[in-house]
Chains A and B, each alone.
Chain A
Amino acid sequence: MDAKQILDREFLEIRAKILEIAASLDRIQRANGDVSGEQRSELIRSAIEIIASQQDSPIRAEKVQLLFSREYDPQWLDTFSISTRT
């Protein structure tokens, strides 16, 4: 399938998903309390920025996944004081 065919097929689905996100954010804003300072709210804002940005290659999904991921420490075996055995 070429880009035009994929857009034709997925436009309404993308539109619906974006509306779901917009409505969810409205729902949070309408509710009592304020979560704008929460880390999860910041993550959502950053993810939306990634989605909306121009990318040199199609890696938006991978970038969003990494945004929502805990950091990997290559020295974790030392931190845990675990010796590997072969």
Chain B
Amino acid sequence: MYYIDPHIHMVSRTTDDYETLAKMGCVAMSEPAFWAGFDRGSADSFRDYFKQLTEVEPARAAQYGIQHFTWLCINAKEAEDVELSREVLKIIPEFLDCPNVLGIGEIGLNKNTRNEAIVFQEHMELAIRYDQQILIHTPHLEDKYQGTRMILDMLAEHSIERSRVLVDHVEEHTVKAVLDEGYWAGMTLYPVSKCTPARAVDIFEKFGVERLCVNSAGDWGPSKPTAVPDLILEMRRRGHSESNIRQLVFENPRKFFRQSKNFDLLDPSTRNSQ
């Protein structure tokens, strides 16, 4: 089955992973800007990173027939430095017309601090000013519930088209609020700190398939870039229809991404046919 991984950090993965993902049916992916595992020292460091996301990764992915899209921001872990964040925010517009940029992301909160909230709001204002979609990171573990509620509070205060916002890393205690407010919700299949495939299928069974996506968030930490196929297998084992599976792993991310002017997905079923 063809699928899209809407959230994966391929700068942290090997080229072998691109090949494996292609073999497993991945035809497109989107890569939100992320923390490198250490705090970057300057805005120029972000400029180089944005070049990597808009030039290097699309070329690497294309070798395996995968379309690579991306989102730009300074992530929440580095947003504690408001001065650096504002310098990075000034750079982002230079890249918004690159052909694989879908919007602003993954912005959000990490430890739910005042500075993180300030930088989150400034990212939202940038997205509104440039008519960009938004991809939102919600915090991990004990910070998730509080941080998700804070993010929903800030979103509600801004004039944002809710169908153009995806709130990611939802779990059992946050998914309902996100969907009820009219946003898209992303479930992340990630060891220990997020969802397992089985729990993600439980959430799908409780809340249905509308405005729900699933991703691996594969990165430099313990993670599994092939987690979406794991979910496909779990859904098949539970007897879910192929059409529901396809909607969750392909149609839904395509529908969400299509709201970005730069999203142009080649139909994988007509690939190489002249």
Contacts and interface: CB of A to CB of B under 8 A. Distances in A.
A86 B129 CA distance: 11
B154 interface: yes
Judged by DSSP, the binding face of B is helix
Nearest to B239: A1
B258 interface: no
A68 B140 CA distance: 11
Interface in A34-70: 59, 61-62, 65-66, 68-70
Interface centre among A59, A70, A73, A85 (most CB of B within 10 A): A70
B172 A62 contact: yes
B171 interface: yes
B158 interface: yes
B171 A70 contact: no
Q: Is the interface of A mostly helix, strand, loop or mixed?
A: loop
B260 to A, nearest CB: 22
A70 B159 CA distance: 28
Interface stretch (B14-22, B78-86, B144-152, B219-227): B144-152
Given A1-B238, A65-B172, A70 B121 contact: no
Range, interface on chain B:
20 to 34
Most chain B C-beta atoms within 10 Å of own C-beta, residue among A1, A61, A69, A85: A69
A80 B143 CA distance: 17
Contacts of B150: 72, 76
A31 interface: no
A10 to B, nearest CB: 9
Interface of A: 1, 9, 59, 61-62, 65-66, 68-74, 76-77, 80-82, 84-86
Given A65-B145, A84-B121, A86-B158, 14 more contacts: A1-B238, A61-B172, A66-B145, A68-B142, A69-B144, A72-B145, A72-B149, A74-B149, A74-B153, A82-B114, A84-B154, A85-B157, A85-B158, A86-B159
25 contacts: A1-B239, A9-B237, A61-B202, A62-B172, A62-B173, A65-B144, A65-B172, A66-B145, A70-B112, A70-B146, A72-B145, A72-B146, A72-B149, A74-B153, A76-B150, A77-B153, A80-B114, A81-B114, A82-B114, A84-B157, A84-B158, A85-B121, A85-B157, A86-B157, A86-B158
